[in-house]
Amino acid sequence: MAPGHVHSSREADRRSLSVALGLIVAFMVAEVVAGIIASSLALLSDAAHMLTDAIALTLSLLAARLAVRPARGSMTYGLGRAEILSAQANGVTLLVLGLVIAYEAIVRLVNPPDVKGGLMLGVAIAGVVVNLVAARVLGAGSGRERSLNVEGSYRHILTDLYGFIATALAAVGILTTGFDRADPIASLLIVAVMLYSAWRLLIASGRVFMEAAPAGLDPNRIGQQLAAEPGVVEVHDLHVWEVTSGFPALSAHVVVRAGADCHELRRVLQQVLTDRFGISHTTLQVDHEAAPQPPLQIEVPGPERH
């Protein structure tokens, strides 16, 4: 991905994150008040999750600002991986909060409190609307692929959306049957979604930190494609990794035929990597194969004459 495209994509990310943050903070305050009045764990757990959403969006926004700073000093790649740190932090908060809510839900399954189902339903429906708008804002963007940074915040918002749907269903159950345990059961369903989202974020960010090949790029296929180019004898020490979201990088040692134009071949290979695999940041060490050596001549001395 070209640096200019990455920069414009990050500017769009910042705008989306700012809008979503404003929506979430405004609704979170209202939900905390409603959850206390309704004595609903599902609402309070959603409000707590929305607090982590607000924190996650703030971290993502800060990371997006850091990521556009130019490389300087010892940070030769810039601060792009601040976005990956943000995504990993989002995954950890989802994991911890999910476990806390699961514990409280189990306690309430044993001793269910009285829940005001009407207020719970009204807030849940409003929450569905707000989170649909926030998810739409973060998920849109002219078909551009979301960075892992924005994906982390998007997962938080999407979890809230599912949570509010579960809360609304629980409220309907309470209003129609008086079954108060529907509230902690809805909380456990929310927890399941939170833990799944946390797992996906931690795996994805962990792959970047472990410098695994980006998803969708097969190093073996890339090596075979490079080795198949005319004039290439061998490709080895091939490494493909992701500096940050949308910034794949590659390095390799390429051996070409003796007498071949190594500079022209390097340009051809770089174009292949850009056009076929979307990798524009490449480091190729190109060397000629060793010229064949003539057989070693060994002179055998004749018999000595006296």
Q: Report pLDDT for 8.
A: 52
Q: Model-level pTM?
A: 0.72
| Structural domain of 83 | 3-209
d(CA 54, CA 25): 6
Q: Enumerate residues 6+ apart whose C-beta is below 8 A from 105.
A: 41, 45, 184, 185, 187, 188, 191
Same domain for 233 and 198: no
- The owner of tokens 């908060």 is 93
Same domain for 180 and 95: yes
Same domain for 25 and 63: yes
**CATH number, domain with residue 28:** 1.20.1510.10
Question: Where does a domain end: 177, 209, 241?
Answer: 209
Same domain for 101 and 70: yes
Q: Report pLDDT for 258.
A: 86
Burial (CB count <10 Å: 0-12, 13-18, 19+), residue 203: exposed
d(CA 26, CA 155): 19
Q: Enumerate residues 6+ apart whose C-beta is below 8 A from 253.
A: 235, 236, 237, 238, 284, 285, 287
Same domain for 196 and 52: yes
Same domain for 158 and 115: yes
d(CA 41, CA 26): 20
The answer as to whether 300 is a domain residue is no
**Beta-bridge partner residues of 285:** 253
The answer as to whether 295 is a domain residue is no
The answer as to whether 245 is a domain residue is yes
Burial (CB count <10 Å: 0-12, 13-18, 19+), residue 151: buried
The answer as to whether 230 is a domain residue is yes
d(CA 84, CA 95): 17
Q: What is the pLDDT along the chain (306 residues), one digit of tens a residue?
A: 444 445 556 677 777 888 888 888 888 888 788 778 777 766 676 677 677 778 778 888 888 787 777 778 788 778 888 888 888 888 888 888 888 888 888 888 888 777 777 877 888 888 889 888 888 888 764 344 667 778 777 887 888 788 788 888 888 888 888 887 888 888 888 888 888 888 988 998 899 999 999 988 999 999 999 999 999 999 999 999 998 877 899 999 999 998 889 899 999 999 999 999 999 999 999 998 876 656 656 666 666 655
Same domain for 77 and 186: yes
Same domain for 270 and 174: no
**CATH number, domain with residue 246:** 3.30.70.1350
Give the 3-state secondary structure of residue 60.
Answer: helix
Q: Report pLDDT for 212.
A: 92
The answer as to whether 306 is a domain residue is no
The answer as to whether 296 is a domain residue is no
The answer as to whether 197 is a domain residue is yes
Burial (CB count <10 Å: 0-12, 13-18, 19+), residue 147: buried
Same domain for 125 and 192: yes
Same domain for 152 and 90: yes
Same domain for 95 and 23: yes
Q: Report pLDDT for 220.
A: 94
Question: Where does a domain end: 180, 209, 238?
Answer: 209
d(CA 71, CA 207): 23
The answer as to whether 235 is a domain residue is yes
Overall domain count for the chain: 2
Q: To the nearest 5 percent, what fractions of the chain are helix, strand and coil?
A: 65, 10, 25
Same domain for 118 and 176: yes
d(CA 202, CA 196): 10
